[in-house]
Amino acid sequence: INPKVDEFIATEYLSGRNMACKMLYFNDELKRTACAERVNYIMAKVAPSGITGNTSFGRLINEPNLIELSRKALETVASQIDCQLNGIFTVDYKEDSRGFPKITEINVRHVAFTSSMAAGG
């Protein structure tokens, strides 16, 4: 494809919903959670996937399974690097063709969606 690239990575195509679980920890204790689905994106036409960095339309969802998966993932990472969980974390998911959520990334910071939830109460 590109003669200057020696190696490529193949990954599973995840055709399902694009979701996120926001987690607030203080002194290693989970205080609050909120799950959301990203439905539409700002400037979606400029990206081949239709996914850009900013959601133009999303919705809060009740997904206890995402909360549990996110909790386990964050606690596993924290134990591996020997640190306490403090602050806001966002665990991103895409569902596979059977509807099973797969973690695509973990953000250790405040993201735009959390300010929308705060504004909504």
Inform me whether the pLDDT recorded for 121 exceeds 80.
no
The top-level CATH class assigned to 18-120 is: alpha beta
How far apart are alpha carbons 111 and 57 in whole angstroms? 15
Please state, rounded to an integer, the average pLDDT across all residues of the chain. Answer: 90
How far apart are alpha carbons 71 and 53 in whole angstroms? 24
Confidence at residue 116, expressed as pLDDT on a 0 to 100 scale: 63
Confidence at residue 42, expressed as pLDDT on a 0 to 100 scale: 87
How far apart are alpha carbons 50 and 48 in whole angstroms? 6
In this structure, of 1-5, 21-25, 78-82, 94-98, the range with the lowest mean pLDDT score is 1-5
Q: Between 87 and 111, whose confidence is greater?
A: 87
Confidence at residue 113, expressed as pLDDT on a 0 to 100 scale: 64
What are the tens digits of pLDDT across the range 32-57?
999 999 999 888 888 888 888 788 89
Q: Which two tokens stand for residue 114?
A: 């959390």
Q: Exposed, middle or buried by CB within 10 Å (0-12, 13-18, 19+), for 98?
A: exposed
What are the tens digits of pLDDT across the range 88-113?
999 999 999 999 999 999 999 777 66
Q: pLDDT confidence of 117, banded at 50, 70, 90?
A: low
